[in-house]
Every structure is written in C-alpha cells, then in structure tokens.
Amino acid sequence: MSFHLNNSQQMAINDALLSLTEREIKYLKDSWAETFSKKIFPFIDEDRFSVLYSDNPASWPNNPANVYFGLLILREIFNQSDEEALNSLMFDIRYQHALHTTSFKEQPVSKNSLTNFRAAVYRYNMKHSVDLIQEEIEAQAKSFSKLLKIDGKTVRMDSLMVSSSCRKLSRLEIIYSTVARLIKVIDKNILPESFKPYLDESHYNDTIYRSRDKDLNSKIKRVLKDGLKLYLLYRKNKEIKQTEEFKILSRMLKEQTRNGRIKPSLEIAPSSLQNPTDPDATYRKKGKKRHIGYTVNIVEKFDDKNRMIEGYDLQKNTYSDQKFAEDTIKKLDKGTTALIDGAYFSEEINKKAKAKGIKMLPTNLGR
C-alpha cells in the first residue's frame, strides 16, 4: 500500500453538508466539530506517517492517515471503543465535519482500520524507537503553546498510572486467550481434534462468560493442561516454535506453573503476562491501588493564564519517577524551571539538571 496525501477534503457536489437545513448547519457550526475541523484537523501532519507505507506509487493507495489519527483523538476524547468510534464516523455528521469526510461517498474506515494503523505505528516504533503518534501529539501541543503564547520557562512534571490498551483479563482469561491464540495459527489439518473446540466462539463463551466462582479452579487447571499439551506437542516444530503465539504461550506457562502445576496467585510476578495481545503490560501496586498496564510521565507548560501538556512518556508501570526525571532533563531547554514532587528528586538528578542549566524545584505534592 503506497502513501498518498488526503486530497479529498474540499466540498463536492454531493457533499453531505449540502443536505442540511440552515438550522442544522447553525448547530453544527456551534458544536465541538467546528472547532476540531478548523483548529486541529488541518494541522495533522500526514507526511509523518508516510514511513508506514510503501514508496511504490503503483501499489494500492492508503486511506487518509490524518483521518485515522483524528479519529483516534476523538475516540479518546469521547471514551469510545474502536467500534463506537467507527460507527460515529459513519453515521454522525459531526464526526464527518470534524474529519473533513463529508465529501466522501463512503467513509474511509473499516472494522480493522484503527487496529491496523496502531499496529503499524507499534511495529515502526519497535524497529526504529520512534513513536509516530507521540511525535504528532507533541508537535500539536507545541503549536498550541505558541498560539497561546506560553513561554515554557516553567514546567510541571507528574506521573500517573494508565490501563493497558486492552481490557484487564482475569487469570483464566489470560491463560485461555494465550492457548487459543496459538491454536488459531496452527494448520487445522495437523491440529488434534481435542483442540478444535477452541476455534469455536461458543467455547470461549462457555469457558469465560458462563463460569461460576466454584468452577474457576477446575477450568484454569483444564486450560493450563491443554496449554502444556500444546507446548510439548509443538516445541520441536521449527515453524510453530518461531511464532509469537508460541513464545507467549511458553512465557505464560513459565509464569503460571511450576513443574506442570499451577502456581498460587501470590507467587505470580508483577512483570508476568497480563494480556497476550499486549505482552508489555505489567502489574504494579502503588499506594493501596493495584494497576495493570503502564505509567505515563506528563510534562505541562503553563503561565498565569494558560497551561498545555507538551510532552509525555509512556513506559511499563515498573518505570520509576527518577528515571522519568533523567529522561525529561535531556529534553528540557536551558533556563527551564521544573516543578516536581519528591519522588522525582535525588542529588544525582539535581546535579545533572544544574549541569544543563535547569532548575529542579521539589514541591509538597502528595502521592
């Protein structure tokens, strides 16, 4: 798929806006969609995402990258699932106006559009250590900081826990999903009959959604037993052994079992697999709260009138505040004053900040 800029943003003769009444147009212009359409969408840098696509102009053109990125923003603003965001774009004129797609005969999204876009960004990040989505968000923030005339001489840093991008799975779900994912990549012609029920959605529903508390231990043991059988059956199969699904199964069995038997819950390490579709998510207890997912460091510029989050860094939730402080010092400009809480501060970090002309000012913020 080759990269092409989105050139279909001008009003067409069959544009959906032309079918609206004057009253409807007025309401649309007074809504959030008008602000997004004029102040955010036009400044999304499509070229940034060109590296995700082929440079062969003869291949099939991509769907608009700025529409995907804009829809991801709206998805987060309105706390939607992918499905809800896609349905909104297809049937809500406000979304279409915000993303400049009112002239499209058919909205340029499909069931897997956002998943595939995020996956492409993730693969690029893994290969090049560059998060394109983060770069674009921070570029947008810098533009708004200039627009608001925030001088940026004072910043505030803080970290917070965020959930894994996938929903938290129970222990049974973790084990079941890991086993089922491997089964689905094995050729059905060589897959033993005893594993084929995992290919049926009703098997998942019966195992997970129709479980009673008293059934959980027996089901966990049964699914783990299937996982061990799979591992022993295919560990010498060179092709299957190299798949990501087999590697995740091997990790899960190592973390969840000992000598073929299930480990007690208290013996499961914080860094253990929390979701087979999100293998980097980890477990952490901070204060009295338990978290599965990530920790994010926020850098906020502010003055007497405005404030703007201009940078962030997402890491496994075992990443320390002091490590965030070291990383952020490298990005701050000379002469900046950084307001931080005590968890960010150490004499060594303060020494590194002073060497760069940055003042680290601890506050009494509670954790």
- Which region among 49-53, 122-126, 317-321 has the lowest average model confidence (pLDDT)? 122-126
For residue 357, the Cα-to-chain-centroid distance in whole angstroms is 34
For the domain bounded by 149-164+288-362, which CATH number is listed?
A: 3.30.420.10
Confidence of residue 211 (pLDDT cuts 50, 70, 90): low
Q: Domain boundaries in the chain?
A: 16-128, 149-164+288-362, 171-280
Q: Give the bridge partners for 362, in sequence order.
A: 340
pLDDT at 95: 97
* For residue 166, pLDDT beyond 60: no
For residue 347, the Cα-to-chain-centroid distance in whole angstroms is 34
pLDDT at 9: 59
Confidence of residue 159 (pLDDT cuts 50, 70, 90): confident
pLDDT at 129: 82
Name 229's Cβ contacts closer than 8 Å, sequence gap at least 6.
Answer: 194
Confidence of residue 292 (pLDDT cuts 50, 70, 90): low
Helix or strand (DSSP H, E) at 282: strand 282-286
* For residue 255, pLDDT beyond 50: yes
pLDDT at 164: 52
Q: Give the bridge partners for 339, in sequence order.
A: 156, 361
Long-range contact set of residues 196-205: C-beta below 8 Å, sequence gap at least 24 = 198/226, 204/176, 204/180
* For residue 169, pLDDT beyond 80: no
Distance CA 124, CA 49 (A): 10
Q: Which amino acid is at 45?
A: D
Confidence of residue 364 (pLDDT cuts 50, 70, 90): low
pLDDT in tens, 118-151: 878 877 887 888 889 888 988 888 878 877 788 7
Distance CA 245, CA 258 (A): 21
Confidence of residue 168 (pLDDT cuts 50, 70, 90): very low
Long-range contact set of residues 338-345: C-beta below 8 Å, sequence gap at least 24 = 338/154, 338/155, 338/156, 338/157, 339/154, 339/155, 339/156, 339/157, 339/363, 340/156, 340/157, 340/158, 341/158, 341/365, 341/366, 341/367, 343/159, 343/367, 344/157
Tokens of 290: 């338990």
| Arithmetic mean of pLDDT, 338-356 | 90
- Which region among 118-122, 161-165, 268-272 has the lowest average model confidence (pLDDT)? 161-165
